[in-house]
Structure 1
C-alpha cells in the first residue's frame, strides 16, 4: 500500500485531501486497527506551533510547561469528543461513505448478531 510522503501527510493532518492513488491508505488510516491513536496524533500535530509559542511566554519553565500541559489536555478532550464527526467528514472528503467502518469490527458485529438471533429467535 502506497503511503503519503511527509509533506502530504502534514497537509492531510491540516485537512487537505490526498491524491486518488492514496485512497486505500486513507481508508486504512480512518478505519484501520489503530485509527483512534492515529487520529489523536494527526489532530495534535497542527497544534505543535501553538504549544511552541507557549515557550515564549514570560515566566519560569515549569509554568510554561504547565500551560502546554493544560493546553494539551484541553485539546485531547475536544479531539476525542469530536472524533466521530471529524472521521465522517474526512471520509466524505476522500469519497467514502461517512459510516464506513473497520471491516474486522463489522464482521465481528455481524457474527455476534447472527449468534444472538440464533439463540433468541423471534
Structure 2
C-alpha cells in the first residue's frame, strides 16, 4: 500500500472520527468530495445495521411484521443520513485539516456555470 493510502486500522479509526496523518489529506479530500462520495457515505451508514436487519428476519410471526420492523429502522436511518450528509462531510474535512467549504465545490461550480450562461445570453453590449 502506498504512503497516501490508509491502512485498514487507519481507515477504521478514520471512520470512527480520528484524523488521518497529514500526508493522507488528498485521500481524505477525494473520499469526502470526490466521485462516489455519496455512495460511500450511505454504504458506511447502512452496513452496521445489516446484522440487526438480518436478526429481524428470524423473529417469529407474519412476514409483514418482520418487514415493517426492518423498515422502521431503515427508513429513518436513510432519511437522517441524507439530511446530515453535508454536516458529516464538513466534519470529516475539518477534523483532517481541510477546508470544510470543499463540500460546496460542486454547488459553486454549478452556480458559476449558470451565471456564465445567463451572462452569455442576456449580456448587453
Q: Show the counterpart of 2:45.
A: 43
1:117 deviates by 1.7
Partners of 1:10 and 1:67 in 2: how far apart? 29
Q: Show the counterpart of 1:115.
A: 117
Out of 87, 90, 93, the residue aligned to residue 89 of structure 2 is: 87
Q: Show the counterpart of 2:76.
A: 74
Partners of 2:110 and 2:22 in 1: how far apart? 29
Alignment partner of 1:83: what SS?
A: helix
Structure with the bigger percentage of helix:
2
Structure showing greater relative contact order (alpha-carbon pairs closer than 8 Å, 6 or more residues apart): 2
- Greater radius of gyration (CA): 2
Task: Give a deviation string over 1:49-92, Cα, whole Å, max 9, x none.
Answer: 6x27955x863595556534431222111111111111111111
TM-score, reference length from structure 1 = 0.73
Alignment partner of 1:4: what SS?
A: coil
Q: For structure 2, which runs of at least 5 residues remain unmatched after alignment?
A: none
1:15 deviates by 1.8
TM-score, reference length from structure 2 = 0.71
Change (3 A) 1:20 1:44: farther
Q: For structure 1, which runs of at least 5 residues remain unmatched after alignment?
A: none
1:88–1:98 CA contact under 8 A, matched in 2: yes
Give the CA RMSD over aligned residues.
3.2
